[in-house]
Each structure stands twice: as C-alpha cells, then as structure tokens.
Structure 1
Amino acid sequence: MSIDAEFLMARLPAFYRERDAEMGGPLRALLEVIAEQGAVLEEDITRLYDNWFIETCDDWLVPYIGDLLGVRGLYPVSGTPAFGLRAYVANSLRLRRRKGTLPVLEQLAFDTTGWRARAVEFFELLGTTQYLDHRRPHSVRTPNLREAAQLERVDGPFDRSAHTVEVRSLPAGRYNIANVGLYLWRLQAYALQRARARAMTSLEGFYSFDALGRDVAEPLLRGEGLLFNRPRTEQEITHLAQPENVPEPLSRRLLHDELTALRQALTDGETPSPVYFPLDREEEGGPVLRIWLDGVEVPPEHLLVCNLSPLPGVVPEEWRRPPASVTVKSSKTGQPDHTFPGAAQQFLVGFDPVLGRIALPAGTSATRVEVAYSYGFPGDVGAGPYDRRPVRRDDEPLQGLLDPADFEVRLRVPGDHATLADALAAVIAGTRTLIYLLDDGTQELTPDLDLPDTHLAIEAANQRRPVLLGDWRLGGNLNTRLSLSGLLLDGQLRLHGALGEANLRYCSLTPGKGGIRHTGSGSQLWLRLTHCLCGPLRVSKAIAGVEGRNSVFDNGDAMAFELPDTRLQLDRCTIFGASAAGELEASNSLFSAELKIARRQEGCVRFCYVPPGSQTPRRYRCLPDLVTQGLPTAEAKSERVRVTPAFTSVSFNHWAYAQLRLSSAQELRTGAEDGAEMGVWNLLQQPQREANLRQALDEYLRFGLEAGVIFVN
C-alpha cells in the first residue's frame, strides 16, 4: 500500500472534495504534507523486520545490536568502504564459543581492522630438545635447504623453521614461550580484469603488465613484487590463513612450483588441483593472472616463470626469453612424455611476477597483449578498479559516481563508439555529454578540444580503471564544465581560457607528466579534486580557487602549487613539493616543503604538518609548532627532526605511495582532528583500527599469552 494525497482524498466524503476543489485545493495541500510524513512512517515500518538482523540492519543500528551482545567500546571506522564493525558483531557468538584458539584470534584481527591476518604461535617455532614420547617430526632444528619455497618464508608469517628464544618483548622479539603474533597486511589487492600491456624496450616480444610501463623505483626487498595475490575467502572460522588467503606479492618460486606441478599432472594423466591457477575460471575470481595474445588466452600450462631482469651489458636493453617449447617426462610407467605447447601456432610465454614483465620466445611477437592481474595499494584513492559508490547517504556528492540524469547525451566506449577519440569527435558543443568507458583498456586522447557552453564528463564504469595516454587541452567559456571520474591519465591536463569548473574524482595524473595547468584568464574557474593522485597545479593568472580532498599533489622537490592570487582549500591531503598561493585553508594535511601564502590575514591552517620557515595564515594545533613551544633551541631542533614525516615511498610507481612509515612520530600518526593520521591516508583511520584490535584481544586471548601486532607491509 502506498500513502499519498490521492489515497487520502478518496476516503473523504464527496462534499469535502467538491468544496476543496472550489476553494483552490487547500485541503489537498494539507493532505500532501500528511501523506509525505505517512510515507516516511510506512518506509520505517517496512525496515523494522530487516533491522532485527545484523546482516540487513541499517548502519546506525550496528552498535545497538553489538551492545546487546556485550560488544562495547570500539572506535567507529567510517572513512573507507573496505571495513566496518558489522562483521565483528555478527561473528561475536561464534568467536566466543572458540575463545582462546588461534583461528579465533585471526578472525578477530580481520573483523576489527578489515586487514587480512595470519596468527602464529611463536612458541611452536622454538628450537627445543624434544621429549621422545612426544615427538614432533615437523619441527626440525635446521631448515631443509632443498625446499627453496620454504626458505623464502623464513622470518615471515608463514615460516615453519625453528628459532632460538628471544627475550625482547613483542614485536621486537618474537620467538618466546608466551608470544603470539598477529601479522597484518595493510595493503589491498586491486584486480584489473583485462588491461592493455605496454610494449617495452626497442626489441619485439617484451611487455610490461603495467599499462604505463612503470618499474618499481626502489630496490626490491625480499617478499616484494609488482603483482599481488588476490586473496581467497576463508570458508570456515576454524581455517588458518594460507598464502592464497592474503594480499601478498606473488613469488616467482611459488608460481613456478605450481605451474611445474600442473604440467606434470597433465603429463601423467592426473587431475591437477592448482591454487593460484584454478581450473574453474569463475572460482573466487579465477587465476591470479591471465594473459591474452591477440585476443586468445594463454592457458596456464603454457606459462613459464622467469627472472626478466635486464641482461647486464646488453645494449639495447634485453631480457631473457622463454624457450619455444618444454618437454615434461612422465613419472608413470607406460605414460608418454608430453611437450608443451602441443599444437602449432602456440608457444610458451614467460612472465616475471616480481618485476611485472612478459617475454615471448625469440622470433615471435603479438599485435595486442592483454593482461588480468592485481596490484597493491593502501586504499581507494586515485584511479582504481574499486567500488566508487558512496559509503553512506550523507557522503559528499563529489565522492560518488556521476548522475546520468544530469546529462542529455550518454555515449558508451566500446559500444556506441569504438574508441574515446571517436566519442570525443561526436561531442556537440552546447550539450551536456557523458562518456562511459566500460573496460580497463588503454585509450588515446584527442589533443585539443574547444567546447563552449558544454558540460563534458568522462567516467570509468564502476570497478574499472581505463588508461588515457597523451596530453589533453580543453578550451571553452564560462559555461564550460569538465568532469572526470575514475581515469588514469598519463599526460598533462591543460585548461585554457575562461572556463567555469573542472571536477576530478578518483583520478590519477602521472606526476612526472606535468599535472594540471591553466593558461589565459579564468577568474571564475574552480578546480576541485577529490580522492585523486595528481602532479603539480599551475595557473598563469589568478583563478577563483582550487579545492583538494583526500588527494596527493606531487612534484618532488619543485613547486607543487603555483597559484598566484588564488584561493587554495585542502583537506586530508599530502603535498610533495613547495606551495605558493594567494590564500590558504588547510586541515589534516602534510606539506613536505615550504609554503608561501600571500594573504596571511585570511584563512587558517589546522591539524597540519607545516615545514619550518613557511609563511602561512594563523595555525591551530600544527606540527612542529605543537611540540616545540617553550623549548630551548637545541631541544626544539631535536623535536622538529623527530616529527618530520617519513614515508614508505614517495614514488608514484610504488605500491605504498605516500604511506607514512610505522616509525613516524605518534603525533603524525594520530595528529588529525579525528585522531587518525595526517595526510591522504587519514581516510583509512588506521590508529582506530589498531586500537580496536588491541582492545578486543583482552577478551579472546588465552591466559598467560601475550599478543603482538606485526605489520607485514
């Protein structure tokens, strides 16, 4: 039943309806107001049944249901869709029934933080003399040097080798009788479904998984790599996490062993059961990586794991190539040997999961190479294949997807047009046009566009990350608007003239390609960026303003902002480079180099790190001012050094880009107004998640044991 004014009027006597019509409808207007409130009541009644259950209740009811179960005192975490407290409340009874066991601690860590976890009893890994009536054959004092895959795991979360006792407290010392370790993976794995591989070097047959051909800038440490595992869900609460259940970088040895075993099983006529390359392609997302050559997928048995580092002293640069074929000897009597590949027009494909590279055999090439794989990143910022819908109804509108109802023309690529260039050529000036990019492919940009009185929007389909190559120039007039959503732009965005507005949400602009530049006069232009990774912002003349939220602006040691006589508003941003603007409003942000603001009597800087020597408006609870007030010169200098931000990586190519080091000062990691860290990754609210875990451990940890939280990445 639907309550509206017509429904209520129909139940009144005809006399009142006629009189109301003669008087112009005052009674109908009153009933419309009553019906509106009645509809709200009706909707609330229909939600009552759903709100009885933790799986279907509204978010605001989760703490109330948790209170009925005695789940109290947890910090709310609302900045990221990757985590909420609903799972912890839902699993409370199951966890309490198995209190004190290792799988419960692991599930507890995942439910309270949202990070994949592995629980380890360190006392089980102590190298001790065994009692002959209680022998443990799996626990040997010396690692088996023939198990190369296990040797990679030494001192990690999946280590099985024995260790001598450590007397230091957790997490510095691990292997002791009372110690339990909770390994947490802070990085997430983002899966690209079918992206275009980038041709590399001047020789044919060499490609990069990354569409931009990026290499990791820093030297690779043990356990690092460009390609990540897409974690499989654990089906039972009693199951302990294995490597396939966590978002760790893929190992050459691990994938080599599995693909070798796969080829051996096919040769022996057995049914293989691979983990990373399941036979069922729809099983939990399918294989961890896939490769297509000219539209034909390469089967897993034709993949070879290689070390594709550049050959030393070879010019032009060249990598190792896989052989044209490989023969596997059968381990069963009477079973013939098998050669891979077994058909013409097929060949082996070598790949390197650590460096993210592909090599074809000598004399072979492909016109189009496509890949599906996962990469690591801290959270949902910049272009990425994640859900860009708002977490809650009251979220900032700019954080969600574009509303199709705002546009007169909607074009799909591929679909209505084969390429983005074709779709841009079809845009008619004076219309509101939305272009959807439906895949993870690579598109070439039209270099120059002039669109007066036009609102042009280009949006990636939800959970897609298309790549746009080349510089792009847009001109128009005061009625021209530009909206970009979910795009990775490998080039400079150049705006010219008196434009009205440019909005970017969930976009990445390669910092080394120039960022965003405006030329000409545009005194009414507003640039708004939310959840973006961007290079420098420069304007030749003053514009109305620049607004950044949950974003990174990176120009190394050079100028990140050159905004003469322009208003700059930043919230939860990280800035690599110096900044110059006319006016500044900044909150919860990190600045790596000096700021020079012209109108210091206006604006405010609050809960930020501002480098010494900066010229800013008035500051409130900013670092290092907060820790140096009233100290002698020598102590103040020491404190300034202590609270200087240190990052895991400042390279756009690195999976931990702009992430604060764990060794950073506590004032930085909890210095924002909500108690989380300053900078772009404030949205992850990591201190609150850590606190939730440590608080919950007291209830579920076995008596006499001590638990330590260890971050893997």
Structure 2
Amino acid sequence: MTHSSQPKRVPLYDRLPQIYHVRDAEQSPPGQLRHYLAVVEAVFGEIHANIEALYHDFFIDTCDEWVIPYIADLLGTTHLKGEARTLRADVADTIALRRRKGTLDAIAWLTYNLSGWGVHGVELRENLLWTQHLNHQRPDAGGVPPYSLPGVSRFTPIRGGTVPVRDAAMLSLVNTPFDPFGHTVDVKPPGLDAVRYNLPNLAIFLWRLAAYRVTVSPPVIRDVIDNSAAGTGASFILRVDVHPLGQPLRLFNTSRFDPNQRPPVVSQLDQTPGPIPPARLNQGSAAGVPEAYVQVDTYDPASLSNPDLDTVDRLDIGAVGLQLHLPEPEFTNRSWPRSEPPPPPAWTLRGDNLCAWETGLARPLQNNEIAVDPVIGRLLIGVETAAAAAALETGLLLTHTYGAVGPVGAHPLSRQPLPDTWQGETVAVRPVNFHSDPNGLQAALHDIQTATAPIVIEIRDSMVHELDLGAIASPLDEAGGFNLRLNRSLIIRAASGQRPLIRLSQPLRFRPSRVFDPDPEVQTQLDAVMDRLTVRLEGLYLTRAAGFPAGDPLIARAALHSLELVDCILDPGGFQQLDGSRAPIRPALELANFYGFPPGSDQEVAFNQTPEIHLQRTISGPLTIDTDYRLFLTHALLDAGKGVGDAPDDSFAVAGPGSLPEGRWGPPTVVNGLTVFGRMRVDEIRGQGGIWVHALEVLHNQTGCLKFSYFSGQGDRLPQHHGCVTGPEARLRFISEICGQPAYGQLARSSDFRIRERGPGDDAMGAFGFLLEAHKWRNLQIRYREFMPLGVSPLLIPVT
C-alpha cells in the first residue's frame, strides 16, 4: 500500500480557532470559509501524506521499494535484485552480519535473509574420520575413552569409531544435513548439489519447498478391524488415510524457527520443513523422537459447532507436522506426549511401512499404539474397546503438513480481507463453516438467482464440502444438467489459512438468471448485468464425488462475462497410486460455443458476451475450450499426464472440441508464466514465460508473440517468438511430474541454465518463475564472496 492511500488528517477547517467557526456561521450565506477550505483539503492531504511518506522512507522496514538501494548505499553494501522482502532483510541486517562476519551463524542468517528457505550449515572438516593411535586416543571430549563419557552409549556415533548399526533412527541421518558420522576425505571438485567431505568445504543445506499446514481436516477411515477374538495384538484397529480424498500424501514436518533469536538458528534436527523420516518416529528407539513430529490431543466435539469460535480456539493446535485430535469423552486425558506421567493406558508411536497393510505388519499392532507411514500418509490406530473405535471412526480429526513448490494451487495461505464492494456494489457476505452446518455451502447457494447484490461465500474451514447442484438448482430445458443461475456476480473463496475441498456430484454450470426479454428496456438492463457477471473461485480444491458422471469435466458451462479461478486445484487426477502406476487424467473444463444455449434461440442471440476464462496460480487438468472464449493463464500448471520423454499422442492440455487433424483449435490465449504437460493447440497466443513440454500448435501464427519461453521442438507451429529456447538442445528436467508429490512442477537444477535463469525478468520460465529462485541463487553467490572466510568453499546443496 502506498503512503498516499493512508487516511487523511483532521480537515483544515477543524484546526482553525473557534472564533473563525463563529464568524463563518454569521456570513451570508454561512459556511463560505468551510466550503473554500474543502476545495483545497484534498491537495493539502496529498501534501501531508507525501511528507509522511518521506519520513517513512528513512527506515528500511517502511520505505518504498525504490528507496532500498539508496539506504544500501549509505551502508556501503552492493545492490541486489529480487523480492523486496529479501532485499529489505539484507539491508536491515547488514551491520549485524558484518559484526559476525566469518562465523557459521552469520552464513546461515544471511542465507535465510536472501532466500527465505530453511538452511543448515555444516563445516565438513568436522565430519572427517580420524586415524588415532591406540595409546593416545583423541575422542570427541578428549583424554578419556569415549564410551566412559557421561551420556555416551553404544548407539552414540563416535568420531573416529565404528558406525552403530543397531539403531535405525540414528542410521536414518546418514547423508543428511545432520549426519553425525565420520566420512573419508573426498578430494573431487565440487559437483552439482553433491556433498564433498574435505577440509575447506562448507555445506549449506537448503529446504526450498514450502511446508503448508492444514489446521483441521477429515481423514478417510478405510475400515475398522475387529481383532478382539484373536487374543493377541490390538482389539480394534482403524486404518486411516491422512489425505481427505484417500490419496497417497508425503507428510512434512514444520519448521520451528524463531526469527527473534540472535544469532538465529534457522533449521535444527527434527525441526526442518522437510519430509518426515519414518525411523525417527520409533518411540522405542534410542534415537527416536516421535514427539518432534507427532502429537495427540483431545477435543470436545460440542465446541466445534460454536460459530463464534475460530478453529484454532476450538482445538489445541500444536507445532508438529502431524497431530491427531481425538474426541471426548472416550479419550479424556489421553493426550500425548505429556509432561507429567499419564494415567494408563498411554499411547506409543512407531514408524512403519503401511503400503500393504491389508496383508498385515511384520510386528503386529498393539492396543493404544499408533503406527505412522509418513511416506504415503497412512495411520493405524489400535484401541481396546468398540466404543473407542466407533468414536474415532466418526470424530477423528487431523492437523497435517505437506510440501509444495510454492503458492500455485489450493493451499492454506493468508488472504486479503473480504471486499466491502465488488464492481461498485456492496457485497452480501455468506460465511460457511462445516463444523456448524455440514450443508452450509449448499444452503449459501440456494437463492442466488434472485440476489440484488454480489454474493461472497467464504468457507472458514478445511473440511470436505459435498455440492450437489441437483439439490439447489432446477433443471433447464436447455442441453446439459443443472445450472447455477446468477443475477449478480458470485465469489466463493477460502478464508485465510484454510483449504476447503469441494466434492461435486455433477459438473458446475454457470449462466445468467435471465438472458432475453422482448421488452427493449428490460433487455438493456439484462445486458448491463451480463456485462459484469463474474464467478470467482479462490483457494478451492475442486474434485469429484463417487457418483460423478464418468468423463465429464469439473466445469461444463460458463455463460458469463468472466470465470476466474485463483489459487485453485481443478483435480487433474494423475497421482501415483500405491502400485506405482498413475491414476487416469481427468478433464477440468469443457466449454463449447453457443455457451450452452440452444443454437439460434433468442437466448443464444441475446447473449452478447465473449467469456474470459482466467486461471491464476492454479493447477488444472486438460481444458477443452472453443474459440468464442478468451483464455488467460497466469502462473498456471496444466497437466494432461505427459511429461518429459513421454510420447504426447493425442493428450491435449488445451484444445478445442472436434476431431483431429482439422479441428480442436482452442481459444485465443494470453500467457504469463505457464507449465504445460501435454500438447496445446490454440487459435492464437501471446505472452511470456511458458514451458511447453510437448508441441504448441497455433492456427493463426502470424499474430501474437511469445517471449522467454521453452518449446519442445517436436511438431511446434509457433508464432513470432523472442528470447526463447528449444529442445532437445536445451535440456529440460523436472524434479517431479506427478500431481500430488511435493516437488510437482519444480525445475531440476540439471535443466539448461537458460530455462532456469533466462525467463521473464531474468528468472525461471514456467509456472513458478514468480518465486524468483534464480535471483535468490545469484544473490547468495554475491554475498558469499563478501562474507565467506578466506579458503572456505561453500557448497549449496538443496535438500528439497
């Protein structure tokens, strides 16, 4: 927000002595001075705001972005480019970092300021093995044989000793940033993202993936096994999938970084924003620390129905990556871990492989034991009674953390406050909370066809909402199912910090409540409504219910001025199943000409819009859109299930309806940061920053221009292009091409540097270019040359 938009000061007239107010009231007509000062009040307010802005520009925390390099000049520090947040932090901590120059803490602090990533530095000379004389041992503490030291056991790694192989939790740290074992000298030159244990090397491990935590979500209870007759093991076993849709999910831990600690310790063992290692969850292991990853708490189910309480106030949300919320009264005083000795029975935890849980476990589950598989996001919970099992089946809630490259798709992000107005009209806000009303979303959509103001539906939870248009919309005599009739614009959005899932029983279809009227005056009014009719979906995860028609898209009609999908996931399928195969890809949008009206009808003729389809920071399956639409793709990822090296066949990520080869031309398209897995065929295109893994075919390739993009070089039909690269001469690689995996869509460091650094704004091409990762790498290299001690070689090693 600019300083000129701050609230204005007290009006000039109110600052005058009271005698002038009295005399002004005595004039004929009265109030002449007031009206005169009202004319100059706006100008005076702008001058005052400008003066206040100049004061704010004295401070790095509040100054405008253009002032940052000028303050840097005052400190004598070199200029950098990138995110304003990182530039401010770099300048703000310049003096403090110079005082600590040459220390490991300073390097970690500097790295965090310039990247925002989790970071851990290791002086690799400390990890080198020692060759010791038996008569003059030099153990870690010095002077005394190591196993006689306090706190040292046979499971403790001793520098210069042998590796203890009895503890899986300790062995899981091998070749990680917190590796405690000794290594032989590696004299090879530094390689890409490789650790080289040598005297001058400093390893700087980086966690680049963002860890997103869903505060309260419903698990999928697969079944409850009655094992009471067996006489061994748990009496009742619940098999639980963490993902609300039952898909495999790699569980992450949270970062417990305290920004106020000086010098800061950014990343510590068992507190990093990375995947949870299964072996560290073993409670019976000497090096197991399950309490750093998992927590068990209880809650009162009646408190969830209180609409006046926020979700965080209803439940005790901890800081770990995975938290189980058990319903009372069946589990009163059953939280874990506890500072005081818990009353029996107490929970025990372990990490395990639950991929084939149907065939049983190597070590049977016991009563009051929880087995966690963080690799695929599964739980086994053993309880003693049928009542406890039934309570968990209906009342178990989870807080879980997952990883993603960045804010593309539906994530629990901080969002802007609700708008007071939309398109010049005061909005009607309809809050929805699943805990208060499981059918709240359907209830909020009931009478939208008669609304006289724009409607904003805010979903204030991260639960799964069932949406059946058949229950709230009447069938039309037009082709195609149920429709949401709109009289004003509609916004459905997630509240700040939430990620709701909407499970559809049939495709979404949007249309105006009225399109045609024989009265010209009424038709003019209808045209004015249609000129502004917008549907905006923000922060939502749209998927299919069990009875969803096979082969249908998630959105099948958009007879609107604009359909905006912001921070959404239109479930593309394609996730990796437990047997290693990929689930089928599913279509996201299918929008044909005539907009769903009968061809040649009065409604089709009266509908005078060219609908705009906007996908912004959205993950989507294939789009089938006709040429009478306009498509805008901004930092979007489209998935037709075809990655690098796959034969594209007829898997189109964007195309129009029709048959090959004469048809299937999609709409005119504007691109600003895009990753496409599959072919794309459109009428015309312009923009920048795209990555087309497979062919891009443009019908009217004499119009439009693409800049700073990557093309496959196989079957492309391109418009004019500038600053682009083409495969296979430019190597393209992704960390993951499978939806649902943490690094989905992340460019590999082995990709051609032009793809990673020569996109728009001298940064990466593709959907995630706005993260400015190339700027972060360059800024780190610049600062390391200034802060690194002589003779020390920094090795930047991404962990995620």
- What TM-score comes out, normalization by structure 2 length? 0.73
Deviation at 1:202, TM superposition (A): 9.7
1:481 and 2:574 are equivalent in the alignment: no
Q: C-alpha distance in 2, partners of 1:306/1:278?
A: 14
- Contact kept, 8 Å, 2:252 with 2:273, in 1: the verdict is no
1:291 to 324, 330, 343: 324
Deviations 1:126-162, CA, capped at 9 Å, x for gaps: 1132484864354224222234322111122111111
1:229 to 254, 266, 271: 254
Q: 1:642/1:67 Cα in 2 relative to 1: closer, same or farther (>3 Å)?
A: same
Q: C-alpha distance in 1, partners of 2:406/2:543?
A: 21
- Contact kept, 8 Å, 1:259 with 1:300, in 2: the verdict is no
Aligned residue runs from structure 1 range 128-139, under 5 A: 128-130=130-132, 132=136, 135-136=139-140, 138-139=158-159
Residue 351 of structure 1 aligns to a residue whose secondary structure is strand
Amino acid at match of 2:350: V
What corresponds to 1:243 in structure 2?
A: 269
Q: C-alpha distance in 2, partners of 1:48/1:232?
A: 34
Q: C-alpha distance in 2, partners of 1:101/1:705?
A: 11
Amino acid at match of 2:681: A
1:71 and 2:107 are equivalent in the alignment: no
Amino acid at match of 2:174: V
Q: 1:111/1:659 Cα in 2 relative to 1: closer, same or farther (>3 Å)?
A: same
Q: C-alpha distance in 2, partners of 1:178/1:306?
A: 37
- Contact kept, 8 Å, 1:560 with 1:579, in 2: the verdict is yes
Q: 1:57/1:619 Cα in 2 relative to 1: closer, same or farther (>3 Å)?
A: closer
What corresponds to 1:151 in structure 2?
A: 171
Residue 212 of structure 2 aligns to a residue whose secondary structure is strand
Deviation at 1:324, TM superposition (A): 4.6
1:705 and 2:792 are equivalent in the alignment: yes
What corresponds to 1:378 in structure 2?
A: 405
2:488 to 445, 451, 454: 454
Residue 689 of structure 1 aligns to a residue whose secondary structure is helix
Q: C-alpha distance in 1, partners of 2:48/2:451?
A: 43
1:553 and 2:638 are equivalent in the alignment: yes
Deviation at 1:47, TM superposition (A): 4.7
Aligned residue runs from structure 1 range 226-625, under 5 A: 226-233=251-258, 235-237=261-263, 239=265, 241-257=267-283, 275-276=292-293, 285-294=318-327, 299-301=335-337, 302=347, 304-311=349-356, 323-325=365-367, 347-361=368-382, 364-365=389-390, 366-389=393-416, 403-406=419-422, 407-414=426-433, 418=438, 419-431=440-452, 432-447=454-469, 448-470=482-504, 471-477=506-512, 479=530, 480-491=533-544, 492-496=553-557, 498-512=559-573, 513-519=586-592, 521-522=594-595, 524-539=610-625, 541-557=626-642, 558-563=651-656, 564=665, 566-612=667-713, 613-624=715-726
RMSD between aligned alpha carbons?
Answer: 3.4
Q: C-alpha distance in 1, partners of 2:29/2:697?
A: 67
Aligned residue runs from structure 1 range 34-53, under 5 A: 34-47=40-53, 50-53=56-59
Q: C-alpha distance in 2, partners of 1:49/1:205?
A: 62
Deviation at 1:93, TM superposition (A): 2.0
- Contact kept, 8 Å, 2:169 with 2:282, in 1: the verdict is no
What corresponds to 1:174 in structure 2?
A: 196
Deviation at 1:402, TM superposition (A): 5.5
- Contact kept, 8 Å, 2:216 with 2:462, in 1: the verdict is yes
Unaligned 5+ residue runs, structure 2? 1-7, 141-145, 147-157, 226-236, 299-311, 338-346, 470-481, 516-529, 545-552, 574-585, 596-608, 643-650, 657-664
- Contact kept, 8 Å, 2:24 with 2:34, in 1: the verdict is no
Amino acid at match of 1:707: P
Determine what percentage of the aligned residue pairs are the same residue: 26
- Contact kept, 8 Å, 2:186 with 2:198, in 1: the verdict is yes
Q: 1:385/1:322 Cα in 2 relative to 1: closer, same or farther (>3 Å)?
A: farther
Q: C-alpha distance in 2, partners of 1:182/1:145?
A: 27
With 116-125 and 68-77 compared, the bigger mean Cα shift is at 68-77
Amino acid at match of 2:399: A
Q: C-alpha distance in 1, partners of 2:328/2:442?
A: 22
1:88 and 2:90 are equivalent in the alignment: yes
Q: C-alpha distance in 1, partners of 2:276/2:682?
A: 44
- Contact kept, 8 Å, 2:217 with 2:398, in 1: the verdict is yes
What corresponds to 1:189 in structure 2?
A: 211
Deviation at 1:198, TM superposition (A): 2.1
Q: C-alpha distance in 1, partners of 2:458/2:201?
A: 53
Q: 1:682/1:30 Cα in 2 relative to 1: closer, same or farther (>3 Å)?
A: farther
What corresponds to 2:647 in structure 1?
A: none
1:211 to 225, 229, 244: 244
Deviations 1:606-659, CA, capped at 9 Å, x for gaps: 1111222211211112111xxxxxxxxxxxxxxx32414211111111010111
Q: 1:21/1:654 Cα in 2 relative to 1: closer, same or farther (>3 Å)?
A: farther
1:61 and 2:60 are equivalent in the alignment: no
Q: C-alpha distance in 2, partners of 1:214/1:279?
A: 23
- Contact kept, 8 Å, 2:281 with 2:288, in 1: the verdict is no
Q: C-alpha distance in 1, partners of 2:285/2:11?
A: 64
- Contact kept, 8 Å, 2:673 with 2:689, in 1: the verdict is yes
Q: C-alpha distance in 1, partners of 2:775/2:286?
A: 44
Amino acid at match of 2:693: S
- Contact kept, 8 Å, 2:114 with 2:779, in 1: the verdict is yes
- Contact kept, 8 Å, 1:322 with 1:360, in 2: the verdict is no
Residue 690 of structure 1 aligns to a residue whose secondary structure is helix
Amino acid at match of 1:387: S
Amino acid at match of 2:507: W
Q: C-alpha distance in 1, partners of 2:539/2:742?
A: 18
What corresponds to 1:339 in structure 2?
A: none
- Contact kept, 8 Å, 1:322 with 1:349, in 2: the verdict is no
